[in-house]
Structure 1
Amino acid sequence: MVTVPTRVRLGYAVGSFCTANFTTIPGLLLLIYMTNVLAVDPLLAGVVVFLPKAWDLVANTLVGQWSDRTVSRWGPRRPWLLGGAAILPIAFVVMFIGPPLTGVPAALFVGAAFLVAASGYALYEVPYKAMPAEMTHDYHERTSLLQWRMIFIAIGIGMSGILAPILAGDTVEGYRLMGLVFGVILLLAMLASFFGTANAPYTGQAEPEASLKAQLRAARTSKPFMWLLGLSSAQTLGAYVMLAGAPYFAAYTVGSTGATTTLFAALVGPMLVTMPLWVWLAKKLDKRGAMILSGVLFMTGAVAAVATPLFGPLYAHLVIVVVGVGYAGLQLLQFSMLADVIAYDGMVSGKRRGGVFTGLWTAVESAVAAFGATIYGATLAIGGFRESDPANPVTQPQSAEFAVLIGITVVPAAIILLGVLMTFKYDLTSAKMSQVSHDVT
């Protein structure tokens, strides 16, 4: 068994600040930034959040193949981390410091900047996700390695969910300051992961697949990968519908815009303290059983949040803690199982195709995450939610406030239920991995 050194675990994990901040801030703030600051129609705003991420279906697949075929003294993945660092932080800042536009022109500007940022993110994130499968062959060592990553993701989500709304407030100037601060954080995290993985062990000795077509065919015909992609897509979609609705839930259901930060603390807190528990549960229940449990917890908390108008803010925070415990398990187990799928394919095929697997994964994950905002924006539009800007506040109709609540509770719970049901079909267990490893050796 190859044990990953602690310094490499930390060096790899710090890159998760990029993952956490770039996925959380657009998912949390971009929709409400457009509807409540730039006076963009909620349905149009939801589409703007989604379309740049749809581009990832192409970009991420290409990046995955390029990184699989890269030969350098830095290894096949690490050069691409630098490429992403050169693009993403700048484009992220531009998203929030644009000219004083409102309505459709503002939506177009934000969408164009988001498209460039998404491309930079693809250059970084696809190779980054492929690296754990190539650091160790051991089934449980990968979970232990990714436990560190999840801790940094939790810290990053906390930064995004607590600090970013405080900096942004509800003004153009606040969002510009937030964009600058987090652009710097993204740059530092991406560079730190490049340098921190310089001495990472590399066990991916298989040859890269000759063509992109063959790699895509391999991904499509991998039963474990396709089931994992399906169940994780449902989980991600449910989580990002809830994420997009969080500021609205705080403002219109809990009754305080400042509650966005405390609700996020309730979500992220369990991620910081329950990771060892989920590692233990993954060993006791196997990863599939632990994944089912985490989905049920997430779904239970989301459904319980429907009663917030009856029981008040404290109750809302308590049920979000339950959501947070489930979300911690989903985050850890998704990426640990993805590393298993990549390692399994390498053992069975003798080919290096992890980049395309993670490229497809990241593309679908990004598109699905952005589609969460589209679903929530559509829910608001159906409820009659009215766009505004700081100089012209509006009073929302009761139907819009009802849509705010249903969109963050019942809708994501139903989607998560689908993911739980799909998890029963995933069969890449510890026993199966051990048997394949024994047969290969």
Structure 2
Amino acid sequence: MSALGTRTRLGYSLGSFVTGAFGTVPGLLLLPYLTDTMAVPAAAAGAIVLLPKAWDVLFNPVAGRISDAGLARRGNRRRSLLWGGLVLAVFFAALFAHPGFDSVGLDSAYVVLMFFVCATAFAFFQVPFNALPAELTEGYHERTRITTWRIGVLALAILVSGAVAPAIAESVGGVNGYRVMGVFVAVLIVLGTLSVFFGIKGAPAGKLLQPSPTWRELFATMKAWKPFRWLLSVYFVQSLGVATLLAGVSYVARYVLGDAGLQSMLFAGFVGPALLVMPLWDRLGRSGGKLMGFRVATAAFAVALLGLVFAQSLPTAVVFVFVALAGVGYAGIQVFPLAILPDLISAEEERTGATRAGVTAGVWTAAETLGLALGPGLFGLVLAAGGYLSSVDSSAAQPDSAITAITVGFSALPAVLILLGIPLLRRSVLETPRRPAEAGA
């Protein structure tokens, strides 16, 4: 049966509190945490954010391979989800605990180590989490539906973690603010982990095929699998654009709009609309096709970002209108690639007769991780080029060149990256055939 029950859809979707929190909060707060509480220079802070994630790019396919082997042995991927999420929660709290070594070098090394462990634990959660839609259902439209549920919950998770975490850090203030925020996000991660672990208990596991016997065979598959490579390319460049945008939120609130308190409102204005338009993206995908919906979402997101180029001179209310439109587009570019991916996995598993979901999710997650890691690093380079002044208490007055750099890094640069996805959305390779029974579902 292709349709899933509400318990399975909701249980799976609640895992987005793990991916949403870890995918959002470091991108929003780790860079300012380094530059404005540890006095780490902007370029160096960008590198610190990148280094542990670079390890994940190499490790995620390995985690996918391990997840596929676990599926073959146990018939499900729940154990990896559980331990990955719980270990992530512990070390996320430690990441923002600020050791206070009174040395920029030692404090920075501590952050790198904690982030390194977080990234590794996250791989063991996110890789099986991304693999599940291809195994929970074979329904073409049901995959769009469960992905819509997932992204809807993801929007809520991002809204809660991305809006509340900066508010906690700002209201408590200083090092203690970041410490309290870290514990809050760790609790969200634990709740999300337990929800998905128990929510998918007894759910379908799909065809229990054997993993490919050698890495060489897997590399050969990825090399020849053109539809996956095209979709992966789109997702990577757009993840980079989103991460660059998110890295700029704190700086835009403080230095472009002139009110640090607007940081949470900016984030809520970006993510909130995603909760409202998710049913519309589902309907568009069912009527016009997933690929067409993906293109429409990409265009809407890019138009909104180009409007934000003028954020310095626009009234604050108009800035929030463009932010809301960006949120509408963001929801779509999250839904459609994740709805297309299980179709591609199923077609490849039918062709090869071997499990592809785990290792494919590992490669996919590696690309997403790289994009999310490069975003803050890229934004840090833009700050450095604009002459941004780091400090220990956010009190440094910024030159006009830094304000311009913040605006460009928040708007024009992400817009270019989002638009790069359009020529990569090739119908000839990304459209997958539907089974006759599903065409009218």
* TM-score normalised by length of structure 1: 0.95
| 1:395 aligns with one of 394, 397, 400 | 397
Hey, which bits of structure 1, 4+ residues long, moved more than 3 A? 71-74, 433-438
Cα deviation 1:168-211 (Å, max 9, x = unaligned): 11410000000011112111211221111102112223332112
- Give, in angstroms, the shift of residue 217 of structure 1: 2.2
Aligned residue type for 2:13:
A
Q: Which residue does 1:49 correspond to in 2?
A: 49
Aligned match of 1:416: 418
1:18-417 residue pairs with structure 2 within 5 A? 18-71=18-71, 75-101=75-101, 103-169=104-170, 170-390=173-393, 393-417=395-419
The 1:68/1:324 distance shift into structure 2, 3 A limit, reads same
Tell me how far apart the structure 1 counterparts of residues 21 and 426 of structure 2 sit (CA, whole Å): 31
Give the superposition deviation at 1:57: 1.8
Cα offset, 1:341, TM superposition: 1.6
Task: Answer yes or no: is the 8 Å Cα contact 2:230–2:425 preserved in 1.
Answer: yes
User: In 1, distance between residues paired with 2:39 and 2:436?
Assistant: 58
Cα 1:199/1:410, change in 2 over 3 Å: same
Cα offset, 1:55, TM superposition: 0.6
* Deviation at residue 134 of structure 1 after TM alignment: 0.4
- Report if aligned partners of 1:28, 1:246 keep a CA contact under 8 Å in 2: yes
User: How far 1:81 sits from its partner (Å)?
Assistant: 0.8
Amino acid at match of 1:206: L
Do the aligned residues in 1 keep the contact of 2:308 with 2:322 (CA within 8 Å)?
Answer: yes
Q: Deviations over 1:3-54 (max 9, x none)?
A: 1111011111111100000000001110011111211111111111111111
**Aligned counterparts of 2:39 and 2:427: Cα–Cα separation in 1:** 44
Does the 8 Å CA contact 1:238/1:412 hold for their aligned counterparts?
yes
Q: Which moved more, 1:45-54 or 1:203-212?
A: 203-212
RMSD: 1.8
Alpha-carbon offset, residue 71 of structure 1: 4.6
1:44 aligned partner, one-letter code: A
- Which amino acid letter does the alignment assign opposite residue 325 of structure 1? V
1:382-406 per-position Cα deviation (integer Å, ceiling 9, x unaligned): 000010112x721111100110001
What is the CA distance between 1:424 and its match in structure 2? 3.0
**One-letter amino acid of the counterpart of residue 174, structure 2:** T
What SS does the aligned partner of 2:422 have?
Answer: helix
Contact 1:254 1:312 in 2 (8 A): no
- Aligned counterparts of 1:328 and 1:426: Cα–Cα separation in 2: 24
Give 1:12's aligned residue: 12
> C-alpha displacement at 1:364, in angstroms?
1.3
TM-superposed CA distance for 1:160, in Å, is 1.7
Alignment-mate amino acid for residue 254 of structure 1: L
Deviations 1:115-151 (A, max 9, x none): 0000000011101110110011111110101111111
Q: Indicate if the aligned counterparts of 2:76 and 2:205 stay in contact, CA closer than 8 A.
A: no
Separation in 2, partners of 1:28, 1:204: 39
Q: How far is 1:79 from its partner?
A: 1.5
- Identity within the alignment, %: 37
C-alpha distance in 1, partners of 2:187/2:250?
24
CA shift in 2, pair 1:408/1:426, >3 Å:
farther
- The structural deviation recorded for 1:88 is 0.6
Q: How far, CA to CA, are the matches of 2:118 and 2:269 in structure 1? A: 29
User: How many Å apart are 1:56 and its aligned residue?
Assistant: 1.0
Q: Does the aligned pair in 2 maintain the 1:216–1:356 contact within 8 Å? A: no
* 1:428 CA displacement: 2.9
Contact 1:69 1:76 in 2 (8 A): no
Q: How many residues align?
A: 436
Letter in 2 for 1:52: P
Q: Secondary structure at the match of 1:379?
A: helix
For 2:134 and 2:207, the matched residues in 1 are separated by 8
The change in CA–CA distance for 1:204 and 1:407 in structure 2 (over 3 A counts) is same
Between stretches 372-381 and 180-189, larger displacement belongs to 180-189
Aligned-partner Cα distance in 2 for 1:207–1:433 = 25
Cα distance in 1, alignment partners of residues 232 and 255 from structure 2: 34
Distance in 2 (alpha carbons) for counterparts of 1:294 and 1:97: 38
- CA spacing shift, 1:423–1:15, aligned 2, 3 Å: same
For 2:237, the aligned partner's letter is A
Checking the alignment, whether the CA contact within 8 Å between 1:56 and 1:364 is kept in structure 2 is: no
Structure 1: distance between partners of 2:55 and 2:76: 24
Equivalent residues of 2:141, 2:438 under 8 A apart: no
| Structure 1 residue 327, shift from structure 2 partner | 0.1
Give yes or no for contact 1:135–1:204 (8 Å, CA) kept in 2.
no
C-alpha separation between the residues in 1 aligned to 2:339 and 2:428?
A: 14
Preserved CA contact (<8 Å) 2:72 2:210: no
